[in-house]
Amino acid sequence: MNKLSVAFLVLSLSSVVSAGPTGHWLAKQTFPDGQTRETSLWLKADGNTLTGYMISPNQDAAPISNGKISGNEISFSVVRDNFGEQRKTDYSGTLTNDKLTLRLPGFGGRRVREMSFQQVSTEIPGPPPPPKPKISLPPAADVPSNGLAKTPPMGWNSWNKFARSVSDRVVRETADAIVKNGMKDAGYIYVNIDDAWQGTRDAQGNIRPNDKFPDMKALADYIHSKGLKIGIYSSPGPKTCANYEGSFQHEEQDAKTFAAWGIDYIKYDWCSASQVYDYHSMPAVYAKMGLALLHSGRPIVYSLCQYGVLKSETWGAKVGGNSWRTTGDIRDSWESMSHIGFDEQLDLAPYAGPGHWNDPDMLEIGNGGMTNTEYRTHMSLWSLLAAPLLAGNDLSKASPEIMDILLNKEVIAIDQDPLGKEATRVSKEGDLEVWARPLQGGAFAVGLFNRGPSTAKVTARWSDVGLHGSARVRDLWKHKDLGVSAEAFSSDVPSHGVTLLKLEPASK
């Protein structure tokens, strides 16, 4: 099971029998790297009714509602403020012997998860603590463009596969693999270290890497010696998502440190910034680092990771961003990938272009949670969306079939098309969708997608695509010319699959 999201809720049966669930319960995860994450649950039982509140990492206290006790079953809801919107999460638990497993529903494509608590007292809870005061920043002036990322960045990121276990050795081995397996030649040039590299700050406040990264400049030099670029990760909050040191109140200092190390790319993840900033200040907060990077003395691609909050597509470029996340985190499942890729990217195309890109999150291709058919859909859709292509698998163990997906140069060319126009959905009939984007020189890329449970015929009509007259059709996964079609093209597309086409006007 995933150590980041799954644990077991262990309760004392004798406590439940004698005092019920009343008291303070603590969920404490300890990770192999020594970092911890805690969630507190204060409960009060009154007959069959349950009240109290929950304090989650990087969240203020949230009261529980609709709390019920029925024999060995408990259930309740928690409503949290989620960047100005109220999000309700329903929890349920089953007591078995001396254990109670508390389940969280899957949402946004996530599977059902479980949490783990242990009773630390039987104290009756009082009212929840009030929210902590937040810093509110005035709107910031626009940050000038850094002139980078004229096409969507391509490379690799450590989190999806290695998470907290990333190390100097893993990064070097990945760089070696990128050179050896042809990914460098295909355009994958960024080797990005995600969370869990940070150590402590020295007496002058300079951030230092932890023991897994003995010399960050030497690592950057090694990556550069391979003809590649190196990326790093931080947060505008005091702590990162994995509870490491963030850049709060050290923005300029950290930007100069990153530049001195030779960093070429930074992913800047909101995380604990919610604990210190009013979320309405988010654009100004990101502008602080955007300006710091611009003045760092080194060109550094700036990737905003803020989950699409406050319509980030409307302000991401203004704060110096080269890309901005449009959704929550992706998971290695069809449900997550398809929800993020299809449902959450509608109406975003006008905001993408050379130097500034919508980012539906990293690639999960090769991590094992989807079929190769689904991974081809993943790669096709991200390329149509002009999204950053950041592989997230273990490249030292990737199968030939997975490498064929990642290295399809005809598909990559769609993503990297210099016109920089993102695809839009041009037709939808139930589970069947057609997405299309114009390409430089008058051609079009068209994806025929089948989100349904069985093979189905999908038709792309030239009138929907915006193409007038006949077109030469090429299948980019079969690497095969399919002749000239006058008005439309149909394909039998497998369940969760795609037919990806390039259309060129036949008159050319």
Residue with tokens 């795609």: 498
Helix (H, G, I), strand (E, B) or coil at 311: coil
If you ran DSSP here, which 8-state letter would residue 486 be given? Answer: S
pLDDT value at residue 346: 96
109: left (phi over 0), alpha (psi -120 to 50) or beta: left
Say if residues 306 and 272 touch (Cβ distance below 8 Å). Answer: no
Q: Which helix (H) or strand (E) holds 474?
A: strand 471-475
Rounded Cα distance between 396 and 172, Å, is 11
Q: What is the pLDDT of residues 94-152, one digit of tens each?
A: 767 656 678 887 554 455 578 878 888 889 999 999 988 999 999 999 999 999 999 99
DSSP state string for 172-188: HHHHHHHHHTTHHHHT-
- Annotated active-site residue in 168, 254, 269, 361: 269
- The model's pLDDT over 175-223, given as tens digits with 9 standing for 90+, comes to 999 999 999 999 999 999 999 999 999 999 999 999 999 999 999 999 9
From 329, 361, 415, 417, the catalytic residue: 329
- What pLDDT is stored for residue 21 in this prediction? 83
In contact, 419 and 394? CB cutoff 8 Å: no
CA–CA gap between residue 234 and residue 253 (Å, rounded): 13
pTM, full prediction? 0.91
- 8 Å CB contact between 464 and 426: yes
Instruction: Give CA–CA dist 229/50, Å, rounded.
Output: 54
3 state SS of 506: coil
Distance CA 56, CA 104 (A): 13
Rounded Cα distance, 312 and 318, in Å: 10
pLDDT in tens, 481-503: 999 999 999 999 999 999 999 99
Per-residue confidence (pLDDT) for residue 18, from 0 to 100: 39
C-beta atoms surrounding 52 within 10 Å: 24
**Integer Cα distance of 203 and 207 in angstroms:** 10
Q: What is the pLDDT of residue 106?
A: 59
Residue type at position 400: P
Set out the domains of the chain in order of their start, with CATH numbers: 13-121 (2.40.128), 154-415 (3.20.20.70), 424-505 (2.60.40.1180)
In the block, which residue shows the tokens 């998502």?
241
Q: Cα 421 to chain center, whole Å?
A: 22
Q: Which residues of the chain have pLDDT under 50?
A: 1-18, 108-109
Annotated active-site residue 329? The verdict is yes
Tokens representing 197? Answer: 């590299």
Per-residue b or e along 158-190, where b marks 16 or more CB atoms closer than 10 Å to that residue's CB:
bbbbbbbebbbebbeebbebbeebebbebbbbb
pLDDT of 2: 41
